[in-house]
Amino acid sequence: MDDFGLTTFPVETGKGVIDLKKICDFLGLDANEEYLNACANIVFKKPRKTRKNAPWTPELIKEVEERMKGIPFLEGYSYYD
């Protein structure tokens, strides 16, 4: 968790609508229950690694890793996680 109570790395909380409401509140967005439920219904129920659905060569992985350097938000992320 960071200082705002939002997670950097998604975890299965079982509270999708509650988590989404927390994010909307942080962003200053009004979000009614209908909106929150509609959003929660299109989000994956559990975190996925969709990158495994694409053909990644070692060269592409290295290039992306190089581009990620120096971007604080991406620290801690890796293709291999």
pLDDT in tens, the chain (81 residues): 455 555 555 555 555 667 788 888 888 999 898 988 888 788 777 777 888 889 999 999 999 999 999 888 888 888 887
Same domain? For 18 and 56 the reply is no
For residue 63, the enclosing domain spans 49-81
Same domain? For 13 and 43 the reply is yes
Same domain? For 73 and 53 the reply is yes
Distance between CA atoms of 81 and 77, rounded to whole angstroms?
Answer: 7
Same domain? For 56 and 70 the reply is yes
Determine what percent of the chain is predicted with pLDDT higher than 70.
79
Q: Write out the two tokens for 59.
A: 């060269």
Which amino acid, one-letter code, is at 29? L
Same domain? For 32 and 6 the reply is yes
Total domain count for the chain? 2
Same domain? For 43 and 58 the reply is no
